[in-house]
Chain A
Amino acid sequence: MSFEQILFYVFSSFLVLSAGAVVTLRNPVHSALALVLAFFNSAALWMMLEAEFLAITLVLVYVGAVMVLFLFVVMMLDINIARMREGFAQLLPIGIVVAVLMFGVMYQVYNGDRFAPGDMPVPTPHAADYENTRELGLQLYTTYVFPFELAAVVLLLAIVAAIALTLRRREGTKYQAPEKQVVTRREDRVRLVKVPSEARK
């Protein structure tokens, strides 16, 4: 067994274990942390496939941004574990049916005549100076520049649409006016009052 294979099995077994932990752990915070571990392991697997750009994006976007948000939400909300477990017995048969169906579909695809692993060409490893990020960038900004720019336009549209649908000025809302705050002078706010001292009686 080569070193690469050993690495693969280490990462994948950690991935499977942590993914299992996500659904079985009792504490939602622990689940979220297990998910972070799962993301890290899949990033490592991608790295082994020479897809370092995807690996880094996964860590940056999912671990760095999405999961932190997720943890915030989980910690802010008071999730009642007991209530979430209530319907378990009733939902179990449906869950089993879905799981069996999913397994059947995956089995079919895996042993099908088109998408089986044997039908795919074996990837040839690249030289050490090969940069996946550079190749992706070249593709994105040349061959696929049109859909890439369109994706940017869709994002702009999403901003405009979201603001158009949610922004409204209500009467009577209280807000700060920093431009007024910074130009106030001491004379406007503080009044020195001369209080004559009185003799103690």
Chain B
Amino acid sequence: MDLTLTSFAPAMPEMFLLGMLSLVLVVDLFLTERTRHITYILSLLSLAGTFWLVLDGYPRLPELAFHGSYINDPMAALLKLFMLLAVMVVLVYSKEYIKQRDMYKGEFYLLVLFATLGMLVLASAHTLLTVYMGLELLSLSMYAMVALRRDNVDASEAAMKYFVLGAMASAMLLYGMSLVYGATGTLDFALMGEAAAKLPTNDVTMLFGIIFMLVGVAFKLGAVPFHMWVPDVYHGAPTAVTLFISSAPKLAAFAMLMRIFVDGLGELHQQWQGILIVMALLSFGLGNLVAIAQTNLKRMLAYSGISHIGFLLLGVLSGTSEGYAASLYYAITYVVMSLGGFGMILLLSRAGFEADKLDDLKGLNDRSPWFALMMMMLMFSMAGVPPFLGFWAKLAVIQAAVGVGLVWLAIAAVVFSVVGAFYYLRIIKLMYFDKPESDAPIESSADLRILLSANSLAVVGLGLFPSSLLAICSASIG
């Protein structure tokens, strides 16, 4: 048995985060409402420390730890950096909002830290068992976070739907995993590929396993036809929680897709490609069409998120390393834009008022020209207008699809993104050409204003210089 410290070293960030999480758990017991900011600062510090550890241990070559349960490769490290950044941004954005809504408790921060730990584990999973444990850690904390305001009817309903459907998706995933284990005889992704390659083509057990696992992963991503929970949960959950669910966990779900289907079952690409094509087509089709009919901003962003997942799948289904890099780029891009979009709702909300209707954005230009400009850039980016970040991401995944000869799918993607431009442009019209419904000044703290501006400007900055981030993504896929 080789049990030295070096065999644990690659998992340093996770271990540090777990230690800090336990510290926050104990420290928070001794805090009162007035000193709660210590929990907030400690949580931010734990995330920042983890960020530094990931950066410090950035691997050049994949490193295995814990007898092959854990892998630290460039893709995992890059995903972790963006997950941690996104979670830190979420904490800063949501501070005022949760204070006003009686959610300013240690549990909120603890659940966020638990979920973050789950995401890190998912990004580094190298066996099916680790994937499942990371997923449960992430999902359980998210169910609880949605239910945190249990006196709110919408939130309770959303939590119930999310929990029941999520449990079913987990069961499907587990069933698929058990079938794949039965067919290949291993849980390890490195050995699974070899074992799967030896099986006869269209082996029934393997096919069933792949389909069930895809159902589970598609649920977590929120891809059509497993998207039913997305609008209800995004709408019903407190906006701070919606902001969280729509950002970093999408990176984790992407990591799960990549780990299982590229690291593990990359050899069987032919067998899962068709399913992903259907899912991608349905996702950007249905997402963009239904988003047009929404009057609630959170629901609209939920459907827009579904359509973005469709685009994300375009890269993965192409099965080339360019495609994987493009999808990674798209996932990061989506998280940046989604943080900005939901952050804007948090900015406009105040005690007793949720700015989650499209009408609440009316005449934003008269109330705050600066944030109207920020929102306009975010919407242009989501719609995929050059030179904003979203355009380059869409371009990259569509190029990947064209690269493997799926021209018809690429054309469909372009058509639906034009359809989607309608509802993004409608928001810009509401902000600039309609009269405001109320003249209430925007009350928000300085840190939220500064970070949200930085977030929106990042969409422009990364859009003007798209090659750097894309190059990092390509290097991470290797």
Contact = CB atoms under 8 A, between A and B. Distances in A.
A110 interface: no
Contact of A150 (B67, B121, B141): B121
Contacts of B105: 164
Interface of B is mostly: helix
Contact of B205 (A114, A151, A161): A114
A106 to B, nearest CB: 15
B144 A164 contact: yes
A115 B18 CA distance: 40
A137 interface: no
B158 to A, nearest CB: 14
Contact of B110 (A145, A146, A160, A165): A160
Contacts of A115: 182
A154 interface: yes
B111 A165 contact: no
A13 B53 CA distance: 59
B114 A157 contact: yes
Given A157-B141, A160-B111, A164-B105, A151 B69 contact: no
Interface of A is mostly: helix
Interface string A105-145: 00000000011000000000000000000000000001111
Given A160-B110, A164-B111, A165-B148, A150 B133 contact: yes
Interface string A155-191: 0011011011100000000000000000000000000
Given A160-B107, A161-B111, A142 B1 contact: yes
Q: Give the residue among A157, A161, A163, A164 with the most B Cβ atoms within 10 A.
A: A157
A104 interface: no
B69 A153 contact: no
Nearest to B126: A146
Contacts of A143: 67, 69
Interface string B61-101: 00001110110000000000000000000000000000000
Interface string B445-461: 00000000000000000
A154 B111 contact: no
A154 B136 contact: yes
B114 A153 contact: yes
A20 interface: no
A146 B136 contact: no
B176 to A, nearest CB: 15
Contacts of A165: 144, 147-148, 150
B67 A142 contact: yes
A143 to B, nearest CB: 5
B141 to A, nearest CB: 6
B137 interface: yes
B137 A153 contact: yes
A173 to B, nearest CB: 18
A147 interface: yes
A41 B182 CA distance: 27
Contact of B69 (A114, A146, A157, A158): A146
A154 B115 CA distance: 10
B167 interface: no
Contacts of B18: 153
Contacts of A146: 11, 65-67, 69-70, 130
A154 B137 contact: yes
A154 B140 contact: yes
Contact of B140 (A142, A145, A161): A161
A114 B208 CA distance: 13
Given A114-B205, A164-B144, A165-B150, A145 B114 contact: no
A157 B137 contact: yes
Interface string B119-145: 001000001011001101100110110
A105 to B, nearest CB: 12
A144 B137 contact: no
Given A145-B66, A146-B66, A164-B105, A157 B140 contact: yes
A160 B148 CA distance: 12
A150 B182 contact: no
A150 B137 contact: yes
Nearest to A168: B150
Nearest to B18: A153
A101 B111 CA distance: 42
A188 to B, nearest CB: 30
Nearest to B144: A161
A153 B25 contact: no
B117 A153 contact: yes
A150 B111 contact: no
B7 to A, nearest CB: 10
B440 interface: no
B3 interface: yes
Contacts of B117: 153
Contacts of A164: 105, 107, 110-111, 144, 148
Contacts of A145: 66-67, 69
Q: Ordered nearest first, which 9 A-B pairs have the shortest CB separation?
A: A164-B107, A161-B144, A146-B66, A150-B133, A146-B69, A147-B129, A143-B67, A157-B114, A147-B133
Given A153-B137, A164-B107, 13 more contacts: A144-B129, A146-B66, A146-B67, A146-B69, A147-B127, A147-B130, A150-B130, A150-B137, A158-B140, A160-B110, A161-B143, A164-B105, A164-B111
28 contacts: A115-B182, A142-B67, A143-B67, A143-B69, A145-B66, A146-B66, A147-B127, A147-B130, A150-B134, A151-B133, A153-B18, A153-B114, A153-B117, A154-B136, A154-B137, A154-B140, A157-B137, A157-B141, A158-B140, A160-B107, A160-B111, A160-B114, A161-B107, A161-B111, A161-B144, A164-B107, A164-B111, A164-B148
Interface of B: 1, 3, 11, 18, 25, 65-67, 69-70, 105, 107, 110-111, 114, 117, 121, 127, 129-130, 133-134, 136-137, 140-141, 143-144, 147-148, 150, 182-183, 205
